[in-house]
Each structure stands twice: as structure tokens, then as C-alpha cells.
Amino acid sequence: MSRSVSVALTPAAIEDLSGATALVIDALRATTTLTHAFANGLAAVSACATVEEARAEHARRPGSLIGGEQGGITVPGFDLGNSPAEYAAERVRGKHLVFVSSNGSRALVAARGARHVMPAAFVNAAAVVERAARASRVVVVCAGRDRRFSLEDTACAGLLARRLIERGFVVDGAGARVALALAPADGAEVGAILASTDHGRELLRLGGEFARDVERAAALDSIHLAQEI
């Protein structure tokens, strides 16, 4: 039986996730941030679709952290925002995180119908491909931006799809073919893509940690961790 990889260019394009492994991408910045957090010892995450849901879930989990953003800005009263730099080991080790963001957490919620769900990004691309290669069907879900197509997530999806194809997977659907056409060839191209996107340019204009987050997100294969949530 052939193994297949498909790509949903936005969460709205998800069709059937039953029995699938879902790789959810929000490269700038949610899934990059969550990957850093897990690498620094985060125990678990509860992704929420809205701030109200996140606050309610946080209240149900004494001792948990609440983090994320809306419109790129840390939500008032939250412990953490959406920058990888905030999720240091001394802050998150052993903790449960309740997380909400403008795009990424919604995509994670939309992917809950899959058998396995993993946050994916350029930083952990090799690790998620290695783990997903055990599955018979992989669906890569792009968070997009404001419910629309985003270049950075689609390019990352193309990279993951290409690597899965190299492991014997076959392409399923037009979304995967679009993503493959945008897949970067190497780390230098990853950096160029992220810096050229609307979101990447906004973060670079803001400067400081926002600009450094673009560099962090471009660090291809820098974290060998694939965490199921």
C-alpha cells in the first residue's frame, strides 16, 4: 500500500484527517515557538482557538502557564507571548502551557481529528519528517494568515512533502503540488523566503526580538524534536 502526503494550504482546506498524522505549520511564529518550548522542557500544551477558551482552560489547570498573542501582541494578563526567546527552560520546564495565537493555535485545533498531531516548522523539519515517515498518510496543515494562504507556511509544507517523497511517499492532491513548487532548497533559501514574506517584513521592521524571531524561525533543522500534542 502506498503512503501519501497531502497539504491543506489553510485550515479551511482540511478534508479528511481520520487515521492521518497531521503536521501543523505556523512558521512565523507559533509552531517555531512551541518547538523551542518543548526543547526547553515544556511538558504539554493545550491549544485553544480563542482567548476566552484559553482563559477558561487556564483556570481549569492550576499551576499552568498561559501564553500567546493576538495580532502579534501578547494578550494582557498572559504569562508569555509568542516569541521563542520567552520560552526559556527556567520558565517552562515541567509546565503545562495553555496557548492561543492568531493563526497557529487555531490550526492545531482544526487538526484534532487526526490520529497524531505535531507542531512543525523549519527548525524541526528533519525530526518531524523522521517521525511522520512511520505513518501511512500524512496531512500537512498550513496555518496561513488571517485564514488566507501564507508563503512561509506553504514553503515549509513543500519542504516536508519533498523529504517525505524522498522516503517513498506519493503526492496526494493539488495542495501538495503547489507546496512542492515553493519548497526551499536549503537554509539560505529558507532565510530569504521568511525575510521576503509580508509577516516576515513586518517582524523585521519592528526590530529587536521580533526581528530575531525571523532568524530563529529560519534555523533549518536546528532542533531535533518532534512532539506530539
pLDDT (tens digit per residue) in 45-64? 999 999 999 999 999 999 99
- Domains in the chain, number: 1
Tell whether 224 is covered by a domain: no
H or E element that contains 21: strand 21-25
Tell whether 141 is covered by a domain: yes
Tell whether 223 is covered by a domain: no
pLDDT (tens digit per residue) in 25-48? 999 999 999 999 999 999 999 999
Q: Could you tell me the end-to-end alpha-carbon distance of the chain, in angstroms, rounded to an integer?
A: 27
pLDDT of residue 1: 63
66 within 8 A of 98, measured Cβ to Cβ: yes
CA 198 vs CA 80, 164, 178: distances in Å = 24, 28, 19
Cα three-residue angle 186-187-190, rounded to 5 degrees: 95
Tell whether 62 is covered by a domain: yes
Tell whether 18 is covered by a domain: yes
Tell whether 229 is covered by a domain: no
Strand 73-74 and strand 65-70: the pairing is antiparallel
Range of the domain at 66: 4-217
**Phi, psi (degrees; rounded to nearest 5) at 207:** 75, -170
Place of cell 503512503: 3
Tell whether 160 is covered by a domain: yes
User: Using CA atoms, how far apart are residues 136 and 4, in angstroms rounded to an integer?
Assistant: 7
- The dihedral of CA 97, 227, 36, 142: what is its sign? negative
Tell whether 225 is covered by a domain: no
Whether the pLDDT of residue 198 is over 70: the answer is yes
121 within 8 A of 37, measured Cβ to Cβ: no
Residue 23 is classified by DSSP as E
User: Using CA atoms, how far apart are residues 211 and 223, in angstroms rounded to an integer?
Assistant: 20
pLDDT (tens digit per residue) in 105-150? 999 999 999 999 999 999 999 999 999 999 999 999 999 999 899 9
CATH number for the domain that contains residue 26: 3.90.1560.10
